[in-house]
Amino acid sequence: MSHHIELPPLPYAQDALAPVISAETLSFHYGKHHKAYVDNLNKLVAGTDLADTPLEKVIAATAGKPDKAGVFNNAAQIWNHTFFWNSLKPNGGGAPTGAVASGIETAFGSFDNFKKEFANAAMTQFGSGWAWLVADKGTLKVVKTPNAETPLTSGLTPLVTIDVWEHAYYLDYQNRRADFVSAVIDKLLNWEFANANLARAG
């Protein structure tokens, strides 16, 4: 039986993140961009030895291989986007609780310091890419990745991410990336998801 990569459903209604992220943005970002990565990947791997491979294995098998860049970019972008939707929730944001809160305190000194560093990573990612809070063998760090790159390929455990490709914010914020980033941090970040990812990382 063919293991077709599917577009996962959004974890909330398309208008649930408004006004921070509008239903119109989600209809394009999820309904067009995310879906296109899924459709492209299925076309690219059809009839190859990666055709029936789960997404994370496709990413691992193609990372850093120039001849597989098309497959990697589409596969990683599917994974990154699914992770981004789960990193957000209606009425999210604010300070975290639990293990992530103590990890942030230890690594950054305070939640405010973390917010500054996370926003700075999102703002200074030149062009398209992602800002991530990750666990590196138990220590929390902020990293950024360009284009489709993902911390998965560096042995890091992603906890939450912010997409700073222009299609993530342009309809709502035009070129005001800083406003988008601070609104996501203050109002949408899903700390339960971050804690669940940290717990799985052991």
Q: What is the pTM of this model?
A: 0.96
Total domain count, the chain: 2
| Residue 135 and residue 82 share a domain | no
User: What single letter denotes the amino acid at residue 66?
Assistant: P
Give per-residue pLDDT as tens, 28-54.
999 999 999 999 999 999 999 999 899
Residue at 51: amino acid letter: A
Please state, in angstroms and as integers, the Cα–Cα distance from residue 174 to each residue in 28, 169, 178, 189, following that order: 15, 7, 11, 21
CATH number assigned to the domain comprising residue 67? 1.10.287.990
Last residue of a domain, one of 37, 56, 87: 87
CA 20 to each of CA 24, 87, 91, 167: distance values in angstroms, whole numbers, following the listed order:
11, 14, 10, 14
Examine the domain organization and report whether 82 and 120 are in the same domain: no
Task: Give the domain range for residue 178.
Answer: 98-201
Please say which residue of 43, 65, 87 terminates a domain: 87
pLDDT band, very low/low/confident/very high, at 138 (cuts 50, 70, 90): confident
Q: Is residue 10 part of a domain?
A: no
Residue 15 CA from chain centroid, whole number:
19
CB neighbour list of residue 177: distance below 8 Å, 6 or more residues apart: 122, 123, 164, 169
The rounded radius of gyration (Å) of the Cα atoms in the chain is: 17
Same domain, 164 and 77: no
**Taking 90 as the threshold, does the pLDDT of residue 61 lie above it?**
yes
Is the domain of 168 the same as that of 107?
A: yes
> How high does pLDDT run on average in the chain?
95
What is the model's pLDDT at position 167?
Answer: 93
Helix segments in the chain, DSSP class H: 23-28, 35-45, 55-62, 69-87, 98-108, 111-124, 170-173, 177-187, 191-201
Q: Which amino acid is at 202?
A: G
Note whether 166 and 109 are same-domain residues. yes
Is 73 in the same domain as 110?
A: no
Residues 114 and 187 in one domain: yes
Residues forming beta bridges with residue 46, ordered by sequence position: none
Residues 139 and 66 in one domain: no
**Based on the domain organization, do 117 and 146 belong to the same domain?**
yes
Buried b (16+ CB within 10 A) or exposed e, 86-99: bbbbeebbeebeeb
